[in-house]
Amino acid sequence: MSPTALQSPPGAPEILRRGRALVAPALTQAVGSLHPWVAEMACYALGHCEVGGAPATGAQGKGVRQALALLGAEAAGGPAEAGVPAAVAVELVHTFSLLHDDIMDGDALRRGRPAVWKAYGTGPAVLAGDALFALAVETLAAAPAGARIVCAVRQLTTALGDLVRGQADDLLFAGRPWTGPGSVGVAEYEAMAEGKTGALLGAALALGAQLGGAPGEMAAVLDRAGRHLGVAFQIADDLLGIWGDPAVTGKPVHGDLRQGKKTLPVLAALKAPGGAALAQLLASERALDDVGVRRAAALVERAGGRAAAEREARRHLASAEELLAGATLAPDVAGRLRTLVSSLADRTV
Ligand code: GRG
């Protein structure tokens, strides 16, 4: 038996670590091409440095999207390296969207440290976001992919449009009532989550596959699988926002409940027969204090909102897995993709 046959297949943390290591040099080089002030803010947003430029420790994201892009390239039969420009592009778009999202929501903390707008000011942070966005498109457009690059750029711009649509709906949900006419339904929530989160996960897989030489149908299936995965991922994010450990998530405890966000556990609880007490609490004029958010979390759980959201996440995960199982992917890659995909809906961070 060869030594490699004795090795156990990599788990999700190893797949993510390998992705980060493979993409880091290209990401650093891309950001280094920016105006020095903007480059520092971009490095801070990526968790590579502190304010002032000293190297940072432990403030980086998981790198889910870049890992998906590399696996997409390999799934299409290409080397992981072929997916690097796609990986850089999706990671830059992700970083940009978090940065602007924190400004829109007024969130002061990201990954356990001040959000970019808190650290550098709102105006400079908007500019850093703009730079990340432009750099993402530039990096993808410069990928050595011949005529396929036109489809790839179109794939990315479609995803960007969907991200804006999803974010717009999410922002508008804030002004909608909790219950009754005009309240947000589960299907509407899921369409929002597919845009806000699923579009970029789908694009990560599809763009990687396109740069790896995949035919158009394979890229389309991977895009759809990634979108389902994204809905499951967003639901997991909602669950972590209520029941996650703030020391691990780097977000304030019960932040979404405090802000009155229309997350799936809450929406599902409100639609359940036992949701009346929660509806009454949320309808009160005053913002919820610490006791109020703890009570709201308990009422969401008691009405079955937590269980319903977990069920919905599993359903989207199963749809993603089904699509991947039906695609003709390079066999050794399919296993790694399955490992990563199934880990993402059960995450704790
Ligand atoms: C792209 C043109 C364009 C506009 C963006 C601001 C905006 C419009 C959209 C916001 C999208 C958003 C913030 C979605 C949330 C997605 C999500 C679940 C983020 C958390 O992802 P993780 O857990 O984060 O991968 P880490 O910290 O690991 O990188």
> Which CATH topology does 11-343 take?
Farnesyl Diphosphate Synthase (1.10.600)
Q: 290 or 118: whose pLDDT is higher? A: 118
Give the pair of three-digit tokens for residue 21: 């290591």
Mutation choice for ligand 1 from 62, 97, 157, CB with most ligand atoms inside 8 A: 97
pLDDT(2) > 60: no
**Each residue's pLDDT tens digit, 105-140:** 999 999 989 999 999 999 999 999 999 999 999 999
Looking at residue 1, its pLDDT comes to: 43
Lining residues, ligand 1, CB within 6 Å: 61-62, 64, 93, 97-98, 100-101, 111, 160, 163-164, 167, 196-197, 233-234, 237
Going by alpha carbons, the residue nearest to atom 16 of ligand 1 is: 197
pLDDT(49) > 90: yes
Backbone angles phi, psi at 263, to 5 degrees: -90, 160
Q: Residue 299 belongs to what H/E stretch?
A: helix 290-302
pLDDT(6) > 70: no
Residue type at 65 in one-letter notation = R
pLDDT(4) > 50: no
Report the distance separating Cα 125 and Cα 129, nearest Å.
6
**Each residue's pLDDT tens digit, 186-235:** 999 999 999 999 999 999 999 999 999 998 899 999 999 999 999 999 99
Q: Which atom of ligand 1 is nearest to the CA of 101?
A: 6
pLDDT(5) > 60: no
Backbone angles phi, psi at 346, to 5 degrees: -105, 20
Mutation choice for ligand 1 from 111, 196, 229, CB with most ligand atoms inside 8 A: 196
Which among 221, 218, 206 has a CA at the least distance from the CA of 86? 206
The distance from CA 233 to its chain's CA centroid, rounded to whole angstroms, is 7
Neighbour-count burial of 188, counting CB atoms closer than 10 A to its CB (0-12 exposed, 13-18 middle, 19+ buried): middle
pTM: 0.95
Report the distance separating Cα 127 and Cα 132, nearest Å.
9
pLDDT(349) > 80: no
User: Which of 55-64, 94-103, 251-260 tops mean pLDDT?
Assistant: 94-103
Report the distance separating Cα 275 and Cα 254, nearest Å.
19
End-to-end distance of the chain based on CA atoms, in angstroms? 38
Domain positions in the chain = 11-343
Which residues does 213 contact at the CB level (< 8 Å), separation at least 6?
76, 77, 78, 82, 148
* Mean pLDDT across the chain: 93
pLDDT(174) > 60: yes
Which among 165, 169, 181 has a CA at the least distance from the CA of 261? 169
pLDDT(3) > 80: no
Report the distance separating Cα 175 and Cα 304, nearest Å.
24
Mean of pLDDT values over 148-158? 96
